[in-house]
Amino acid sequence: MNFHARHYRTLRPVKVSVENGIFRSIDDIVDGDDLPFIAPGLFDLQINGINGTWFSDENLTVDQCLEALQAHYQYGITHLFPTLITNSFEALQNGFSVIRQACEQHSWANRMVLGCHLEGPYIAIEDGPRGAHPLDQVRPCDWKELQRLQAASGNRIRLLTLAPESEGAPEFIRKCVANGIAVSIGHTAASTGQIAAAVAAGATLSTHLGNGAHGTLRRHPNYIWDQLGEPRLTASIIADGQHLPASVVRSFFFAKGKENIVLTCDASGLAGCPPGVYNFEGNSFEVLKTGHVVIAGQEQFLAGSGVQTDVCISTMMQMTGCSLADAWDMATINPARITNVDCAEFEVGKAANFVLFEQEETSSELKILKTVAAADVVFDSF
């Protein structure tokens, strides 16, 4: 298979040859300034579901899980971490075991799911930091519980979001890191000292920095500055254009640098659903006409994003002026480095997972034309 496209880094036309599932050659060619771009498939660390399916659903089935995974190809996403949020042990165990079964039964799903993200349940109790996580299921760190969930997932939990003030957090973080689970700080109201202790214990990421926080905060110190100013923490940010204003995205970007930002959409299970009120696990959510997903009855507290990672790329470019290549790295190699997994890379000898797309010049908006995973065309807009 040969493809002609423009390289997302050099922006120059290239001829790409794919053989036996890998890139055989990537060569510059002379003509092709109007060709679509080619880039490695996107990788998102935090996706809760899509089209009304939540990976956290205690009644999730293997078919629903597969359908939800497959739906991401149209957005150029070839790798993701299904994300399960605070819930009962039984519901989490079911979710992880369904994901394991889906991956064991279908090699494409196993390639797509590079790991799972457990967001909670060891988080802050307070309104604001807790976000949309159910209060009655928040609990202190529990290593035995995590081991049982890890067994249910077939060892797929590779990222855990917790609050450093959760009882026993430093020791728990050390155990996670020693067992190959990256630890991220999030849904927290931690003190400066508690954040420092979590970082010393091995936490390396902040989960959606600037969201899952109080509406009003002491000017300083506070847990946002403490994480922003800590060079050992990479920051994941929801760059969907809804969760953070441009000045905040720019401040985070300038403070952390392009290598220490991870873009995530944190898509809600209601992403892709028409406007309306939806009930899930006893909570009422609303998809507004604007596409925002909120707690029903108010418009202030967002409950995950209504868009996917491709939109985060264009928003990041718009808000910060960063290059296409830099934004793309923040949604591919940066999350892979933090979680120590192999995602798609656009290099000779690597697996042929890639996206062909066009980009609108003024808005930077992407139009995904084709997604290829392991040399199979898994989405084609034509």
Which residues of the chain form contacts with Zn ion (CB under 5 A)?
212
What's the residue count for the chain? 382
- Nearest-approach distance from CB 322 to Zn ion, in angstroms: 24
Distance of CA 50 to the CA centre of its chain: 13
The smaller minimum CB distance to Zn ion, of residues 163 and 366, is found at 163
Cis peptide before 231 (omega within 30 of 0): no
CB contact at 8 A, 282 and 245 = no
Complex with Zn ion: residue 281 or 365, whichever CB lies closer: 281
Element at 318 (helix H, strand E): helix 309-320
Nearest to Zn ion of 55, 379 (CB atom): 55
CB closer to Zn ion out of 213 and 316: 213
Distance CA 146, CA 153 (A): 10
CA 267/CA 238 separation, integer angstroms: 9
- Helix extents (H) in 140-269: 143-152, 169-178, 192-201, 223-228, 246-256
At its nearest, how many Å lie between Zn ion and the CB of residue 207? 6
Gap between the Cα atoms of 122 and 137, Å rounded = 9
Closest CB 264 distance from Zn ion, rounded Å: 10
Comparing C-alpha atoms, which of 313, 325, 322 is closest to residue 360? 313
Smallest distance from the beta carbon of 266 to Zn ion, in angstroms?
6
In the bound complex, what is the minimum distance in angstroms from residue 75's beta carbon to Zn ion?
20
Backbone torsions φ then ψ of 212, nearest 5 degrees = 70, 50
34 contact partners, CB below 8 Å, separation of at least 6: none
Beta strands in 230-311 (DSSP E): 234-238, 261-264, 276-280, 283-287, 293-295
Find where tokens 């809804």 sit: 242
Give the whole-angstrom CA distance, residue 155 versus residue 150: 5
Among residues 57 and 326, whose Cβ is nearest to Zn ion? 57
Residue with tokens 């790798």: 79
Q: Minimum distance from CB of 138 to Zn ion (Å)? A: 13
**Which residue's CB is nearer to Zn ion, number 162 or number 181?**
162
Least separation, in Å, of the C-beta of 81 and Zn ion? 13
Q: Which is nearer to Zn ion, 212 or 306 (CB)?
A: 212
- CB nearer Zn ion, residue 5 or residue 190: 190
What are the start-end ranges of the H helices in 4-123? 62-70, 89-105, 107-112
Comparing CB distances to Zn ion, the nearer of 84 and 141 is 84
Q: Are 209 and 46 in contact (CB under 8 A)?
A: no
| Residue 323 beta carbon to Zn ion: minimum distance, rounded to whole angstroms | 28
User: Which residue's CB comes closest to Zn ion?
Assistant: 212
Closest contact distance (angstroms) between CB of 381 and Zn ion is 31
Specify the residue, 195 or 267, whose C-beta has the smaller distance to Zn ion: 267
In the chain, what is the greatest distance between 2 CA atoms, to the nearest angstrom? Answer: 62
Cα 195 off chain centre by: 22
HSE of 229 in the Cβ direction (CA atoms, 13 Å)? Answer: 10
Smallest gap from residue 208 Cβ to Zn ion (A)? 6
